[in-house]
Amino acid sequence: MAANIDYYFTCASPFCYLGHRLFCDIAEKHKATVNFKAVNLKDVWAVSGAVPPGERPPVRQRMRLVELQRQAHYRKLPIKIEPKFWPTDPGFADRIAVGLVESGIDPRYFINKVLGGLWAYDDDIRDEHVLASYLSQCGLDPLPALTDAKTDWAEEIRRNNARAAIGADVVGVPTYVYNGEAFFGQDRLEHLDQALSEGRAPFVAPR
């Protein structure tokens, strides 16, 4: 039976950027079905106790910037650790991804464009023209996707995804939930790959 993975993400996360392509490669390698679930991250953080980077103690802010450089070097990806359009609101881009999923369109290529645009090329991912360009580059008609992204139902799905994430013990993004086990962070991708290869039972925490 093919593996099934819930991928919780948001289009503004640098760690989603660092792990996105590798995750998609791992899923393809194992012929896993991926459920792309854009979330309103603030809803998840409200339960897990996390706060936005700018509200963290200075020492944690500095360590985050070091970690971004270290992980980008390890993954061999370009990165701007303080991009021009940061912080930003990923809501519009997230809702486009939601709409693509609801239309039966694989959103991975669009998500990759958004993440790379923000973290490698200083693009403004709130700009409708920028997002339309990404959709066109993926061979998609921008108009239906942009229209869907402006609907209340797209935002409600995004919030429902956050509720599902909380129910799955997701504490942040990216998180990959396989067989009920949450793999939090792109630096857990090798562990996910191993779990898929071995078919082991999931690790659980007592409640």
CA pair distance 18, 112, nearest whole angstrom = 10
**Does residue 44 come out as left (phi exceeding 0), alpha (psi in the -120 to 50 range) or beta?**
alpha
* Cβ-contact 91, 158 below 8 angstroms: yes
Is residue 107 in some structural domain? Answer: yes
The two three-digit tokens of residue 88, written as one number: 């930003």
Is residue 128 in some structural domain? Answer: yes
Residues linked to residue 175 through DSSP beta bridges, in sequence order: 8, 184
Closest CA to 123 of 11, 8, 5, 4: 11
| pLDDT score at 207 | 80
| pLDDT score at 138 | 98
Is residue 205 in some structural domain? Answer: no
Is residue 16 in some structural domain? Answer: yes
| pLDDT score at 197 | 97
Q: How many CB atoms lie within 10 A of CB 183?
A: 21
Is residue 98 in some structural domain? Answer: yes
Residue 20 domain boundaries:
4-198
CATH code: domain of residue 69 = 3.40.30.10
- The tally of domains found in the chain comes to 1
Is residue 203 in some structural domain? Answer: no
| pLDDT score at 161 | 98
Is residue 204 in some structural domain? Answer: no
| pLDDT score at 5 | 98
Is residue 147 in some structural domain? Answer: yes
CB contact set of 181 (below 8 Å; sequence gap of 6+): 195, 202, 203, 204
**Does residue 139 come out as left (phi exceeding 0), alpha (psi in the -120 to 50 range) or beta?**
left
Per-residue pLDDT for the chain (207 aa), expressed as one digit of tens each? 789 999 999 999 999 999 999 999 999 999 999 999 999 999 999 999 999 999 999 999 999 999 999 999 999 999 999 999 999 999 999 999 999 999 999 999 999 999 999 999 999 999 999 999 999 999 999 999 999 999 999 999 999 999 999 999 999 999 999 999 999 999 999 999 999 999 999 999 998
CB contact set of 112 (below 8 Å; sequence gap of 6+): 20, 21, 24
